Chain A
Amino acid sequence: MRDMRSDFPILSRQQNGQEIVYLDNAATTQKPEAVIDAISNYYRMHNANVHRAAHRLAEEATALLEEARQLTQSFIGAERVEEIIFTRGATEAINLVTQILDGRLNAGDQILLTELEHHSNIVPWQMLAKRCGASIEAVKVTPDGELDIADFYQKLSSKTKIFSCNHVSNALGTVNPVTELVQAARSAGAITLVDGAQATLHQHLDMQALGCDFYTFSGHKMYAPTGIGVLYGRAELLETLPPWHGGGEMIEQVTMTTSTYQKAPYKFEAGTPNICGAVGLGAAIKYLRQLPINDLVADENRILAETIGEMQDLPNIQLIGTPKNRSAVISFVVNGAHHHDVGTLLNEQGVAVRTGHHCAMPLMQALQIPGTVRASFSLYNTKADADRFIAALQKTITFL
């Protein structure tokens, strides 16, 4: 297997005399040289504003932006390129959806979420519910950290106008059976959204097979820069929905009193887009394309399973969430110790993890815990990283 680590300059950075073991990939991933170069090269060689000007640089910048859109379309198996809307990230993508659905919901309608969600897939829906008088329901999570599928079917009804859930839980790593859930929700007449922020590197994405109305993700969690994300929207649905932001790029004709709008995706992309971010996302997708992804994901899953096995042999470790289908994330607590102390001591040993509620406070409330320590892996993490994590954890336990 080729060593991906050498593609990522930051991974050879030292902390206290040793390389950093970066296990905070669910928060953000590091960037490969190919992406860093693409960003630098864009500003060195191609920078101009897109879609309007009649000059060479603008043509090149526009071509790069639209190439990134096509690469994204192919990456997620979308039927049409118009279905790819660039946003600042998954959070903005979900907010975009909740804004343009304003006219679709009435008082008494139900928005069905799950207890596994990140705040970004809860709060925008709460704001929409407040505007239109709809109610929020959440599918329960089991003690194992999986969605309670029976509870989903019990809560799903003709009142359910929206169903939104994540593909993979950022807090526990649970891979949800989204194809089944989306199909059932759409059959019940709901508009469906799947938040794929944690899925892009680890799951095979095929929008046409998944069948959701919307899919959202962030570039920075898949080796691309921060500030660029994607909203996939089913073309027939997008055509019927209004824009959210008004401004340049999204209009056809403007008079002082009225305007007509462009078609999707431009209708939803007011103002100068994050061109450089899109170029970086395109470069990340190209980088991923030349990797043996299936082998790398299989390797990652093997390392994850071995790490979990070794953690189960350590004293006082309690895994939070033991889902049958898990991806890239291990959440745990050290019994009798605060998660913040565990994170601090791991950091002293050069191991970067996240501690806290992971922007999933309702999930922590459901599991009745204040927070966890989360080690989250990416395709570049090696068995040696996992071994250093285990050794650091072993030492940490002796302190507490």
Chain B
Amino acid sequence: MTDLEELRTTFEFFDDWEDKYRFVIDLGKELDDLPDADKTDQNLIHGCQSQVWFTADHNDDGSLHFKLDSDAFIVRGLIGIVLIALNNKPAQDIVEFDMDALFTELELIQHLSQTRGNGLRAMIARIKSVSHAYLNPEPI
């Protein structure tokens, strides 16, 4: 699944938490693994109970491409949702995207709370700051 509208529609059909979490976990299982070579300390997002690694690149058309990985399935699934929303999008769109609104709509907002410590919030902040830096490069 790569389309945000399709994701929204899918979530509308879930009757209970079980369907929703089975979907999120399956999404997590489908997420491409980051190569071990990229799972470095430098790419690790700190402050998480589960480990989250992150790399960023840009496509030829100027959109941004992120790769993320985690050792926890639910976090991987939530990463999958974040990537459906943001991956391969122009930096300006990424900076402006309201992730809290999306997670509220999908009734997953508790995963962005402070106590969860799953690093999702830190991960989104990292994606936004990379996008911001891409839009506003430091003068050479």
Contacts and interface: CB of A to CB of B under 8 A. Distances in A.
B72 A341 contact: yes
B44 to A, nearest CB: 13
Contact of A348 (B21, B49, B72, B75): B21
A355 interface: yes
Given A356-B49, A371-B49, A338 B21 contact: no
Nearest to B17: A348
A370 B50 CA distance: 9
A356 B116 CA distance: 11
A291 interface: no
A260 B25 CA distance: 65
A340 B22 contact: no
A32 B75 CA distance: 36
A80 B93 CA distance: 69
Contacts of A339: 49
Contacts of B17: 16, 348
Nearest to B75: A340
Contacts of A400: 25, 73
A368 to B, nearest CB: 15
A340 B74 contact: yes
B46 to A, nearest CB: 14
Interface string A344-358: 110010000001100
Contacts of A399: 21-22, 25
B87 interface: no
A340 B118 contact: yes
Interface in B38-97: 49-50, 71-75
Contacts of A348: 17, 21
A338 B71 contact: yes
A361 to B, nearest CB: 12
A338 B25 contact: no
B103 to A, nearest CB: 14
The residue among A338, A355, A356, A371 with the most chain B CB atoms within 10 A of its own CB is A338
A356 B49 CA distance: 6
A338 B25 CA distance: 12
A339 B71 CA distance: 10
Given A339-B49, A356-B49, 17 more contacts: A16-B17, A338-B72, A338-B74, A338-B75, A340-B49, A340-B50, A340-B75, A340-B118, A341-B25, A341-B72, A341-B73, A341-B74, A344-B21, A348-B17, A355-B49, A395-B18, A399-B25
14 contacts: A338-B50, A338-B73, A340-B74, A340-B118, A341-B25, A341-B73, A345-B21, A345-B74, A348-B17, A348-B21, A355-B49, A356-B49, A400-B25, A400-B73
Interface of A: 16, 337-341, 344-345, 348, 355-356, 370-371, 395, 399-400
Please give me the 9 A-B residue pairs with the lowest Cβ-Cβ distance, nearest first. A338-B72, A348-B17, A341-B74, A340-B50, A340-B72, A340-B49, A341-B72, A356-B49, A341-B73
